[in-house]
């Protein structure tokens, strides 16, 4: 049974940084494509960033490109999202997701999800 557990969220001020972690267990062979999504109240789930276990692929939404960095540590079965220069509009619940194949931006293509971690950025 694949499990994803996010951590690292919190309340910060605009301009601050946070690092989210997503620890995976139960089957690394089923979690080749890893992605971060976020969902703000009243909004649809939004793609943030993605990578693959081979690190051959990284992708970012335009809204976070240049500020966020996604990375992975296969030895720890953990994916990270380093978030710098945070803005109030980054406030959302952040979810880690995984799929068997290469990462994509469509959240419906992911079958494994974490419980989410809240990120709140005050102005």
At residue 55, the pLDDT reads: 77
Report the distance separating Cα 96 and Cα 29, nearest Å.
17
Give the count of alpha carbons within 13 A of 74, CB side only. Answer: 10
pLDDT digit string, tens, across residues 96-110? 999 999 999 999 999
Residue 31 has pLDDT above 90, yes or no: no
Cα separation, 37 vs 108, whole angstroms: 11
Distances (CA, A) of 69 to 43, 74, 85, 119: 23, 16, 12, 16
> Region 9-21: what's the mean pLDDT?
98
In this predicted structure, the answer to whether residue 94 has a pLDDT above a threshold of 90 is yes
pLDDT at 66: 98
């Amino acid at each position: 049974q694949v499990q994803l557990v996010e951590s690292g969220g919190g309340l910060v001020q605009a301009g601050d940084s946070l690092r989210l972690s997503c620890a995976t267990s139960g089957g690394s062979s089923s979690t080749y494509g890893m992605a971060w999504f976020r969902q703000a109240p009243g909004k649809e789930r939004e793609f943030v960033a993605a990578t693959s276990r081979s690190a051959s692929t990284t992708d970012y939404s335009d809204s976070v490109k240049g500020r966020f960095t996604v990375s992975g540590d296969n030895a720890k079965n953990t994916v990270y999202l380093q978030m710098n220069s945070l803005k109030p509009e980054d406030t959302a619940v952040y979810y880690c997701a995984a799929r068997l194949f290469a990462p994509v931006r469509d959240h419906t293509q992911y079958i494994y999800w974490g419980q989410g971690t809240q990120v709140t950025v005050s102005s």
